[in-house]
Amino acid sequence: MSVLTPEQFNRFIDPAAVAVIGASSKTGPGHYNLFENLLREGCRARLYPVNRRGTDILGVPAYRSVKDIPESVDLAIIVVPRQHVVEAVRECAEVGVPAAIVITQGFADADTQGRAWQQEIKEIIAGSGTRLIGPNTIGLANAFNELHTSFQKFDLYPQANAMICQSGMFILASANFINGLGLGVDIGNAADIGFAELLPCLAADDRIRVINLHMESLTNAKQFVDNAANITLEKPVLVYKVGRSAKAAQAAASHSGALAGEDHVFDAAFDKAGIIRVDDLDEMLDLNKALLTYPSIRGQRIAVVSLSGGGGIAVLDALGRYGLEVAQPGQAVLDAIQALNPPWLEVGNPVDTWLAALKHGLAEATREILGLLLSDDQVDGAIVLLNAYRTTGFEVMDPMVAGIVAEAGKRPDKPVALWAFGLNQHAVIARAEESGIVAGFTSPERAARALAGLYHYHHDIKGRRREPSATFDDVDPDRVAGLLSEAEGTPVLGSATLDILEAYGVRVARARLVSEPKAALELADEMGYPLAIKVASDDVIHKSDVGGVRLDIRDADELLAAWEAVLAGVREHLPEAVIDGMYLQPYHRGSVELFVVARLSHFGPLIVFGLGGIYTEILKDVVFTLAPLSLGEAQETIRRLKSHSVLAGARGGDKVDEESLAESRGRVAQLVSDFPQIQELDINPLAATPGGVLALDARAVLAVRKDQL
């Protein structure tokens, strides 16, 4: 695990001396000359062009090699053709340049040759003092000192936020995508520096209040999640992660593999880290606005101020969609608003300002009503409608905006969001946002989504408790180590998996195989009723679908009838199946059958969990979490199942013991974390009852070679 120190990061974003290796003397728009940009656009560092010919570049003395520069260079920007990049990087490493950016493309993004060169670059800098961004990048942008290393000119509009991206356009268009930019790094192919290392550097920078990520792929995944989990308690981290649908198309071969498609794993990781995954670019923009403008929001009760009844109702709909509440102002405030209106107008929330505006003027009516609402303890924030028609003109809009800003400024704890409509909407929003006090949005849905996101960050994410991971002392790792060593060379472990689980404190109930009815009756007397029987056959995959399972067998007669019924059912559906007999198992009336799968991922062990059968197969109702788990996390994620009401007794069963259910997942997480040679562990079914949970069947996939670890 490598760490980019603040000092190293500073050489990148605030260098005193910069070498441009491959600096060109061509000027003008079509040439995208990075050196020209640096020279002409306010870069405050001393600039040293490096060029084979060594002649002056745009009037600045040039050097043939970075080695010839007469002072220590902080940052080298490499723009030579790809076949010369390795050499340039080597020279930087040799003279100890601490920071290098390779702009040139054509490496791991291209052909075999490019991939080989990228590997060579990694090897050159490994152990050297040189850290590297790129290749295939526009580098970085720092709005605080007007440094940017892009070959393109763009709108570098300062803001208290940051962007780490895998494509330069997320910096170039940052003014549009995230409402401006403080610091931005395009990691490109990320041969060296990636998300995991940059995140803490940006988190440590006091000028940055919101961190944005554009992510296509991720290395050092575990380090990334661990870093982010701490950072999101202090600063919001948003991610625009692409690959949702492309990955969805990669139908994985196996059942749980398909469910655990890569993108779901990223979701589990973001969730664990408290990272907010935005749904689209609009949401990224709107959330940046909200998080940068408003200090916080106390609750979800929103007042609506509208000069249009229909517009107000549209906002109510949007509030409901994003889980916000319609504030119910107190009677005193309602009475004060009533006094501005004819007596027959029924005043409520949304507040219709039209009649008050006719009497008192639009700006004054809006200001007064907003002020009244914000003074009310039942109101946590407001959405105000602005009719920004071009024909209306700013002479009407400006006083209205000024009144809103004045009232909002008195209550910084209560966010006021604008929904501006009409052809001047963007202009009016821009003028309103100059205040730094209100943020404007272009639809009711976007205004509501932004306020909901603000609440989500401050309450669900920032406000979350960081519980320690569940660690159980009563586990027996020695026994597991023994069992695993017995199993060495076996790729798939069957019923012995239950022994492993038992050693980690998961209660198990072993099924016992009998080959004929008489033996079943004897065993049943020993085990006691009620029982369940299941067909034992390698040829039957989905036992219950072919009538291969009978539950709640109460006595010998029922057992014999069930035996025949199972045989008949399986023979009907799968006449070719070889039947070895039946498994007998204690049956727990009112229990719910679940499954727990643990498998390896780039983020560490992934725990997949859900009710079996149709809930999983038809409805994909499963929850993904990453190990290790805290008990609170394990409990909270149970409630995310769509079928959670089944666990609470909705299907006539008894309410199951969710605490035990959470604990068993915690124990499984601990087990697979302790023993990485368990590549996959599948408990199915896990019977949940009011009195606890029981693993009824399980299997494990083991690493058979050391290099699989």
Q: Which of residues 588-627 bind its own copies (CB under 8 A)?
A: 589, 613-615, 617-619
Pick the piece of the chain touching its own copies (CB under 8 A) from 197-205, 222-230, 312-320, 368-376: 312-320
Give the H or E element holding residue 573.
helix 556-573
Our CB check for its own copies shows the closer of 428 and 669 to be 428
| Nearest Cα to Cα of residue 467 among 350, 630, 618 | 630
Our CB check for its own copies shows the closer of 177 and 675 to be 177
Q: Which of residues 459-498 bind its own copies (CB under 8 A)?
A: none
- Work out whether 277 is an interface residue with its own copies (CB under 8 A): no
Question: CB neighbours of 650 closer than 8 A, spacing ≥ 6?
Answer: none
Give the H or E element holding residue 177.
helix 174-177
- Structure token pair of residue 517: 């009815």
Question: CB neighbours of 685 closer than 8 A, spacing ≥ 6?
Answer: 593, 594, 595, 612, 696, 697
Using DSSP's 3-state secondary structure scheme, residue 528 falls into: coil
- In the complex, least distance from residue 445 CB atom to its own copies, rounded to whole angstroms: 4
- Work out whether 130 is an interface residue with its own copies (CB under 8 A): no
Give the H or E element holding residue 692.
strand 692-695
| Dist. CA 400–CA 272, nearest whole Å | 43
Pick the piece of the chain touching its own copies (CB under 8 A) from 195-203, 439-447, 503-511, 685-693: 439-447
- Work out whether 338 is an interface residue with its own copies (CB under 8 A): no
- Amino acid found at 455: Y
| Dist. CA 60–CA 64, nearest whole Å | 13
- In the complex, least distance from residue 630 CB atom to its own copies, rounded to whole angstroms: 28
Do 300 and 325 contact (CB within 8 A), yes or no? yes
Neighbour count for residue 323 (Cβ, 10 Å): 12
Do 563 and 534 contact (CB within 8 A), yes or no? no
Pick the piece of the chain touching its own copies (CB under 8 A) from 204-212, 221-229, 332-340, 645-653: 645-653
Pick the piece of the chain touching its own copies (CB under 8 A) from 84-92, 369-377, 391-399, 660-668: 391-399
Q: Which of residues 671-700 bind its own copies (CB under 8 A)?
A: none
Binding track over 225-264 against its own copies, x by CB under 8 A:
---------------x-xxxxx-xx---------------
- Amino acid found at 476: D
Binding residue (CB under 8 A) for its own copies from 50, 291, 303, 314:
314
| Residue linked to tokens 């560092």 | 45
Using DSSP's 3-state secondary structure scheme, residue 128 falls into: coil
- In the complex, least distance from residue 313 CB atom to its own copies, rounded to whole angstroms: 5
Give the H or E element holding residue 527.
helix 517-527
Binding track over 98-117 against its own copies, x by CB under 8 A:
-------xx--xxx-xx---
Phi, psi (degrees; rounded to nearest 5) at 163: -140, 130
Q: Which of residues 16-55 bind its own copies (CB under 8 A)?
A: 29-30, 32
Q: Which of residues 205-224 bind its own copies (CB under 8 A)?
A: 214, 216
Q: Which of residues 510-529 bind its own copies (CB under 8 A)?
A: none
Pick the piece of the chain touching its own copies (CB under 8 A) from 17-25, 308-316, 467-475, 674-682: 308-316
| Dist. CA 546–CA 678, nearest whole Å | 31
| Nearest Cα to Cα of residue 159 among 289, 342, 15 | 289
Total chain residues near its own copies (CB under 8 A): 106
Q: Which of residues 158-177 bind its own copies (CB under 8 A)?
A: 165-170, 172-173, 175-177
- In the complex, least distance from residue 170 CB atom to its own copies, rounded to whole angstroms: 7
- In the complex, least distance from residue 187 CB atom to its own copies, rounded to whole angstroms: 11
